[in-house]
Structure 1
Amino acid sequence: EVWFAEHDTVYTLGHAASEENIILNNDIPVVRTDRGGQVTYHGPGQLMIYFLINLKRLGWGPKRFIYELENIIISLLLKYEIKAERKGGAPGIYVAGKKIASIGLKIKRGLCYHGISLNIDMDLTPFNGIVTCGIESLDVVQVTDFTDITMNQIKQDLTDIIRGNSLKVA
Structure 2
Amino acid sequence: MDMRDLGRVAYLPTWQAMREFTAARDASTADELWLCEHDAVFTQGVAGKPDHVLDAGAIPVVQTDRGGQVTYHGPGQVVGYPLLDLRRTGIYVKEYVFRVEEAVIRTLAHFGVTGHRVGGAPGIYVRLDDPFGHARLPEAPGGAPFDKLRENGIPLGKIAALGIKVSRHCTYHGVALNVAMDLEPFRRINPCGYAGLETVDLSTIGVSTTWNEAASVLGQKLNAYLAP
The bucket for the TM-score relative to the shorter chain is over 0.9
Given that 2:34 and 2:82 are in contact with CA atoms closer than 8 Å, whether structure 1 keeps it comes out as yes
For the residues of structure 1 that align with 2:91 and 2:224, how far apart are their CA atoms?
17
Q: Does 1:115 align with 2:146?
A: no
Given that 2:157 and 2:197 are in contact with CA atoms closer than 8 Å, whether structure 1 keeps it comes out as yes
What is the match of residue 200 of structure 2? 141
For the residues of structure 2 that align with 1:3 and 1:130, how far apart are their CA atoms?
26
For the residues of structure 1 that align with 2:82 and 2:38, how far apart are their CA atoms?
16
Shift of 1:34: 0.8
Normalising by the residue count of structure 2, what TM-score does the alignment of the two structures yield? Answer: 0.71
- Of 147, 159, 165, the match for 1:100: 159
Aligned-partner SS, 1:50? strand
For the residues of structure 1 that align with 2:88 and 2:208, how far apart are their CA atoms?
38
Shift of 1:19: 1.4
For the residues of structure 1 that align with 2:119 and 2:212, how far apart are their CA atoms?
31
Shift of 1:164: 2.8
Aligned-partner SS, 1:68? helix
Given that 2:35 and 2:219 are in contact with CA atoms closer than 8 Å, whether structure 1 keeps it comes out as no
What is the match of residue 59 of structure 1? 90
Normalising by the residue count of structure 1, what TM-score does the alignment of the two structures yield? Answer: 0.94
Change (3 A) 1:55 1:25: closer
Shift of 1:25: 4.7
Given that 2:80 and 2:219 are in contact with CA atoms closer than 8 Å, whether structure 1 keeps it comes out as no
Tell me the percent identity. 42
For the residues of structure 2 that align with 1:95 and 1:9, how far apart are their CA atoms?
24
Q: Does 1:153 align with 2:213?
A: yes
For the residues of structure 2 that align with 1:59 and 1:25, how far apart are their CA atoms?
40
Aligned-partner SS, 2:162? strand
For the residues of structure 1 that align with 2:66 and 2:219, how far apart are their CA atoms?
23
Residue by residue over 1:1-22, the C-alpha shift from the partner in whole angstroms, topping out at 9 and shown as x without a partner, is 1011111111101100111111
What is the match of residue 40 of structure 2? 9
Residue by residue over 1:50-109, the C-alpha shift from the partner in whole angstroms, topping out at 9 and shown as x without a partner, is 111111122222211110001001001111110111001222100012100000000122
**Runs of 4+ with >6 A deviation:** none
Q: List runs of 5+ in structure 1 lacking aligned partners.
A: none
Rg (Cα) greater in structure: 2
Q: CA RMSD in A?
A: 1.3
